[in-house]
Every structure is written in C-alpha cells, then in structure tokens.
Structure 1
Amino acid sequence: MADRDEEQILYDTIAEGSSQYWNEEEGNEDPNQYLNEEGNVERDAEGNEEGNDEEEASGNGRPSAPAQAAKNFVCHSGWVVRDNVPVSKVCWRRTRARGGDDSFVPESEKEMLWTTMLETFTLPAGTENIVKHWTLKKMAEQFQTFKGDLYRKYILKGQTPNFDVFSKLRDHWDEFVAYKTGQQGQAMMERNKENAAKKKYHHHLGSGGYSVAMPKWEEMEASLLERGIEPATAKWPDRSKFWFYAHGGTLNPGDGSLVFSDQIREAANRLTDAVEASSQGTFRPDREKDELSLALQTPEHPGRTRGKGVIPWKMGFKEDIHTYKSRMRSKRDTEAKIADLEYRISSYELSMQEEVAQKVDERMAAHRSHDPQPYIPPPMVSPSGNRSSCASTG
C-alpha cells in the first residue's frame, strides 16, 4: 500500500459513510444496548455469551458462514472493542501525524481483543491470520463509530452518560470530552466533514454490506433469465454492476432494462458507454483502470475496491494478480491513459456539439419570434402590349 497510513484510510471510510453500525439516521440500534449495567458485554438468557460458533471466512477474511454466526461475529467484535478500549484513545494505531504514546491502542491490547474473540468463535484451520487482520480493521471502524455516537448523543447536547449504568466510561469521559471539544478534535471532525462532502455517490447497502446483497442481486438477474429476459447488465463486469446495484440501481422486472435515480444518472450513463466502448475494443480495461473507474472519473483507492467493498486490490482484482509486477504494466498504463483521454475528449466534443446546436436553435427561434418577416416585392412584369426597351440580341 502507499505511504498513506491505515488510520487515515479508516477515517476516510467513516467520513464517506461506509460505516454501517449504529447510525441513528438509518434507524439502527443504540450502541449502548450491548452493554449491561456494569458496562460489560450482555449475555444470553442463561447468562452466557453465545459461544464457540464455528465460522467460515470469505476471501478477504470477513466471516461469511454460517450466516447467523457471521452476523454474531461482527456484532460481537463491536461489543468487545467497546467493552475493553477506553474512549480516551484518539487513534487505533500510532501515526506520524497524530498523538503521543498514550493516544493510540497498543498492539498488546489489540492482541487481547483478538484473544477475546477466539474465546467465543472457532475458525477453520488456516484462516486465523486473514480473519484477524479483517477483524482488527473492523474493530477500528467500530471504535471510531462508537465515539462518534457518544459525541452526538451526549457532548453535543451538553449531557453526560449515567456512569452508574456505564461505569467503564467514567474514568475516561473527561479526557474524551476535552479532546472532542478541543482544537485537535474539532479540526479532525472538520476534515471528516470536508471528506464526506466530497463524496458524490452514496451506497444503499445494509449492515451486511456487499456479501449479503450480492446473492439478492444475482437472484434478481436469474429470475429474469428464467423468464427469457436478458438483463441489461448481462455483459457488465461484476464490479460495475454491483456498484450500480449498491447505489440504488436496479432492473425493470418487465424487460430487464436499467432503472436508476437522478442521483446516479450521470454515472450510470457513463458506465453504459464505458461497457459498450470495452465491448467494441475502443477502451481496454486494465485491472483497477476498468469501466467503473472510467465512468466515475476518479482513480481507485488502494485498500478498497469499489463495487466489492473495503478490500485490498489483491482480493478485489485477484484475477489480475499475475500482472502486479509485470514489465508490460507501464506500457499498458500509458495506452490506458491515452484511451481514457481520447474517450474523454470525444465525449466532451459530442457534448459541446450538442450544446452549440441547442443554443443555435434557441437563438434562431428567438430571432424569428421577435423580427417581422421582410417584405418581398412581386417580380417586375412588362405591361401587356408594350415593347421592351431592351434591344433584341436574337
């Protein structure tokens, strides 16, 4: 990954709205409900944690099966991080730009969090490392989201939590409030707001993310095919159509045509053009420089793969992993830039031609409506019986 550190990526992820936990505006749950009166993780009806569910992991390390156990795993990771990490910690990891020795979560504490997870869940052999990596990134996101909720629920309203109920917040609350209301904390929130404002397209995924939504989209396409209807996305790359569906696009159940809102109309039209250009050979996709990146007109960000989730390129573009160190990449990159530039220029020229033609038509219409028709006199005809004054040359 580039020099950009993981903490900044996580802040960007949260700012862009990809955090899907305990967002009041989306009607999700209160983050405090998972803590009992002592501020610890709630147990089940028998007083025990749901224990030793065996998980399967997807390619990026996210637990995926069985479905209920996978959901429990994600929820449980949130309980563990809120129950054990003081809210006074500013950063999940040490960075050059932020914080002193006690402002980030130390590696020893992260190991303790992971060990706590393994007390409840059993993983298939050979998956522990990748699941651990995914889980710690998810915990970082959940931790920042939890602190954001506390800020909105209490600090902005000038209130304080009931420490008799949430005793684990008591010793760290004043420090947390001081940071959030201080210059450094306010500057960080302002940067996050600026990042959020730059986000043009917002997805409509639920808490399960792409992993839960993809089977539903595939079922929708299969239903059309069973009725002899070809979906408009039939020849689209998975990444392109999954991005389209995730951002509110769908298919007309009657004819399989694209259905989308005005919010993504521009991107959807460009995406259709890009897929068509690729099929005709006028545009050649190359790993992350594909139809979706061309349509969105922004480069892919290392560490996440649009249309697939917050997963690294080596997982998002695993079919192209053999090209990562290829000597031909530089040449292909140059060719892709040229093709991209040609496509943009042709699109711009076409839009300019349409705009000029429209303005000319408007000017002509306005001119005709305001100026009277010029008087055209009848042609001159010699009176009958009079000889012409012009000598005959015949």
Structure 2
Amino acid sequence: MDFELPGEDHPKRQEIRAWFEANPHPSGLALAQAGFAVPHWPRPWGLEADAELQLIIDQEMKRAGVHVPRNPVAINNCAQSLLTHGTEAQRQHFLWPALSGEHTWCMLFSEPSGGSDLGNLRTVARLDGDHYVIKGHKIWTSLAHKAKVGVLVARTDPDQPKHKGLSEFLVDMDTPGIRVRPIIDMSAHENEYNEVFLEDVRIPADRLLGKEGEGWALCTTQLQTERVALSRPGAIWGHGPSARELVEGLAEIRALADGAIRDEAAQIFVEGEILRLLACRALSDRMNAKAPGPEGAIHKMLAAPHGQRVVDLAKRSQGARGMIAGEKPFPSQLAGDDPYDDWDYAFWFSQAVTLGVGTQEVLKNVVAERMLGLPRELDPTARLPWAEARRKQA
C-alpha cells in the first residue's frame, strides 16, 4: 500500500496551490470560508474532504507559509459537537467566529477537588426561569485569560449518579460573575493555564449544548477528539518539530556518524512514522463519520513520550551547548510563527505533554478497561446518586 501523497502535478494539489497563490496573505475568515480551517467538515463550514485531500491541504498551507487560525479548543475539540448536537442558531452564532480565530475558546472541565475524575465535578448549574445559574471553580484551563467562549461542564441533577447528571454549556467568558486568575509557572513565558471562578453566573437557557444529562457523553467525545488531534507526528501536542526533522537536523550537523545516536534516531524515526500512519487512519475514520473512540487514548499515550524523546535527542546532540538558550540545534531549522516550532521552547514544554489531556496513567486505564476488556477500577460511588455519594464521603 502506498502511504505517500499525490505528486506536484496532481489536480487536487494544483487547485489548492492555485488558491494560495491567488490569496498569498489570507485572513482567518477567508481561510474558514474557503473551507481550509476544517476541510473534513460538511459544507459550508468545510469541504467534505477525504483524508488524502486534507493532508494535501496541510502540505500546501505549509508550503505557502500560511497557518489556520490558532483556536485549538474550538477547531480540534469542541466545535464539532455543534454540528450534531447544537441548534442552528448556536451554529450560526458560534462557528464562524471560532473557525476564523476571532473568538478563542477554552474548556472549563477540570476542578481542584476532582483531579482526573471528571465525573466527580462539583460545579452546579441550576435552572432559574429562562437562565441557568452556575456556581463553581475550574482549574488548569488553557487560554481562559484570552478566551471569548468557554465550553463548560456542570452538574444539573445532583440526584443522578455522577456521570449521568452532567450537562454542557457555551458560556461567554465576559459574563458577570466569571473571574480568571492566571497560573504562573517558572518557564518565564506567558501563562497558558488559569483558575476560573464562577460566582452565580447567569447564562441564557439556550446556551445548553444538547440536552440536560448529555454532558458526560459530549465531553468524553471531545476529549477523545482532542487526543487524536494531539497525536500527529509533531513533538508537542502534534505541532512543532517532528522525528523526520530531527533526523534531517542530525544529518545536517553530522551527528549520525555516532553509532549510538544513529540507532536512537532510527528508533525515534520509526515511532514518528507509526504516529503518522495512525493519524492517517484517524482522519479516514473522521471522513467516514466514525465517532472517535478509546483508540484516541492509544494515540496520545504513544505520542506524548515520543515527543519528549524527539526534543531530548535534539538537545543532547548539542552537548554542553544545548544548555544555552537560543542556541538552535540545527542551523537550517529556524522557529516559525508557532512557538512550538522552536526547539528550545519545545524542549522546555515537553515535560507537560505526558500530563495534559489525560495523564499516562489515565490513558492506560482507558486502554486496559475499554479496549483490552480488563476489570474496571473499583468505584463504589459510580451508581449512587451524586449527592448521596458526597454525603458518604464527608
């Protein structure tokens, strides 16, 4: 089977290339309206592209030096839910600003008391006339300090078991009662993560996504979609330097003359190719309307430590010089607009990739229970009404 994409003279490639030549500096809205932000989506949002066309578009965008708007929560994770569960009014209101990058989104999921147990969250949403009143506390929320829209999971029925009483909402982040506090780390870069406090936040009832009680199904699908999206060959969340670029760079500085480095680089290159082919299969599943499943956990479980190995070998190949900030390991590979393209940034950030979007331990549980059929981890509160379980834990 041929896993390479069509050549330079292929009609599909020529058509896409001609568009970028005619639009050398497209706006985010122009890219979205052309269908390039989410080419696999149905029209008018996308092009109903098959996996091959989507990968061709990715290549041609990189060749043209063009990037889709950076709005990962909307484009990679949550906005797809509006296609199948949202109302037409919600789609028209939220999707174009999301796909064009005008409105950044964030995911209000994790909570301080829940850890990795999302089903045990304590944020509550109470229906009051034609509004919901929300009270709670979220943490580790990426981009909350920049987001216009938050995808919020809250408990609407405390008398249901913990996974069945959840609902999902689309919240304007400038709504009164929402307070965002940045989490500052030691990297000296601008913060990415935040705490979000919700004090009697009133949102219109038509901001409910789907139906009450569907929150668990929605958010788990979104997390699986995110894990697939983050499992491309790039070292950091699927972006940035890849194993192919690592091998090219090591050849450039003649590091492959060292047998130990050559063997390690070969192993990392094979891992990168496996991830590339898994990404092709994931794209094919999406084109055929197959909902993302627990296989996303395998993708992310493989991709996260692989990315760490990619950037680690790049820095080690520099020797002591690799400890100096700004000393690029490979002179011909300069940073692009995406900070993850920078080898230094990717190296410092790489420690987070086995924690974010599900720790390795959580992912192993998913694979063990849902794919290998091993016994589930004992949870005596799973079938109890959430309010009763909380009283017993108190």
Which bin holds the TM-score, normalised by the shorter protein?
A: under 0.3
Bigger strand share: 2
TM-score, normalised relative to structure 2: 0.25
TM-score, normalised relative to structure 1: 0.25
